[in-house]
A and B are shown apart, each in its own frame.
Chain A
Amino acid sequence: MAAAATMMFGQEQMVSSNNDMAPDWTSKEVSTGTTIMAVEYDGGVVVGADSRTTTGAYIANRVTDKLTPIHDRIFCCRSGSAADTQAIADMVTYQLGFHSIELDELPKVETAANLFKASCYRYREELTAGIIVAGWDKRRGGQVYSVPIGGMCVRQQVSIGGSGSSYIYGFMDANYKPGMTKEQCMELVTNAVSLAMERDGSSGGVVRLAAISESGVERRVVLGGQLPKFFTH
């Protein structure tokens, strides 16, 4: 109940430790407030995210790209501290690139996920990073791995993350079915992220999508006016 109160109406008392003349966003860390998700389908994965980055109440970037390529057929979705997730993603991109050259073939998605896990777990006290790793490899096809805060790693058919994800657990449970096609997954992700953006103040902007399969990566953006409309009172 108390959780619902804070989510609906924000903080009732403003506690400022700095000068009241300076806006609050000059002292707040930049965070990707966020809604991110990834869905497996037969032949690949679809990843999606909103596009809002906030420093406190100020939207620092309203067209952020939170879907970061790690390798040719592997993406990661970033949530939490923008700095932390960018730093980790850069590290893993380097490590995976090197590994792939030594291997002389495309790296496994599981490898990328384990590299993320290694960094997120080792530095768990200093980091605030919730990451979803998704991609395609020839051994297991489309895969989604969730590496939430704390640094565990688990494979799931569907994974949602970020502050906005709380609001769409029910929607995802009800609407995801194993064996969907790529277009169905795209539509599901678009709808889910839109619903979360409606309810979560830290998520918004446009919906970015990417479909990853053996043949390549297809990126899409759904702009504000084209977002699906649901009941809003």
Chain B
Amino acid sequence: MLEEQGPEWMSEEVKTGTTIIAVEFDGGVVLGSDSRVSAGASVVNRVMNKLSPLHDRIYCALSGSAADAQTIAETVNYQLDVHSMELGEDPLVCSAATLVKNISYQYKEELSAHLIVGGWDRRGGGQVYATLSGLLTRQPFALGGSGSSYVYGYLDAEYRAGAGRTDTQRLVVDTLSLAMSRDGSSGGVAYLVTIDGDGVEEKVFLGNELPTFYDQ
């Protein structure tokens, strides 16, 4: 302890501690995330938007190592641009998810990031894909990040197949709020992205606009 090492957070890897969610509804998907990026005990960015566009109607939610996740998202964004130009039309959500899965699986030993892919396409409507550890699976809803553990029970209990747009948005905000209040690595504001056939809607819920629960 005689040498000057600098603050602890300068030597800690930057991770998006995080809670990320994607839920399908009738006609589209809602993606949600918190906004905290931590390096050890320090919050290095309290307003980061972890919902990253891969294409016009396809977004992904980032978790794990911030560098790894951002790089995967940028790479797939580029690959999808090329693919959709060759195709001459908008790519399928499944294609985007497969591209993410390919990178996650090929480099699974070196990378530590989990991306959830959600979007809308003409063939399948709203779809959510999980790509954890390099698998690819379509699910009605997907959770990720350190905060997700605390809200599996809540989402299992509250999810209804075929729910509407506003109900699903409220469900995602409630779930994020619960996770953010229990997980030390999640916090800040809640970002929401709603994608359907008509387009993309981005929303932010500031701290005081988040729902509160019985002990707050």
Contact = CB atoms under 8 A, between A and B. Distances in A.
Interface of A: 1-5, 7-9, 166-178, 191-192, 195-196, 198-199, 230-233
Given A173-B181, A173-B182, A231-B161, A5 B114 contact: yes
A1 B154 contact: no
Interface of B: 15-16, 18, 63-65, 112-114, 132-133, 139-140, 143-146, 148-161, 174-175, 178-179, 181-182, 213-215
A232 B149 CA distance: 16
Q: Give the residue among A3, A169, A170, A196 with the most B Cβ atoms within 10 A.
A: A170
A198 B156 contact: yes
A202 to B, nearest CB: 14
A166 B161 contact: no
A233 B150 contact: no
A24 B165 CA distance: 48
Given A1-B146, A173-B181, A168 B112 contact: no
Given A170-B179, A174-B178, A231-B161, A1 B156 contact: no
Contact of B150 (A169, A231, A232): A169
Contact of A174 (B149, B152, B213): B213
Given A1-B16, A168-B150, A195-B157, 20 more contacts: A1-B144, A3-B146, A4-B146, A4-B148, A166-B149, A168-B152, A169-B150, A169-B153, A169-B178, A173-B154, A173-B178, A173-B214, A173-B215, A174-B178, A178-B214, A195-B152, A195-B156, A196-B153, A231-B161, A233-B140
Given A170-B154, A171-B157, A4 B149 contact: yes
Contact of A2 (B64, B161, B175): B64
B98 to A, nearest CB: 20
Contacts of B174: 174
10 contacts: A1-B64, A8-B132, A9-B132, A167-B151, A167-B153, A168-B153, A170-B175, A174-B213, A195-B152, A195-B156
Contacts of A171: 151, 153-154, 157
Contacts of A230: 156-157
A195 B157 CA distance: 7
Contacts of B181: 173
A192 B156 CA distance: 11
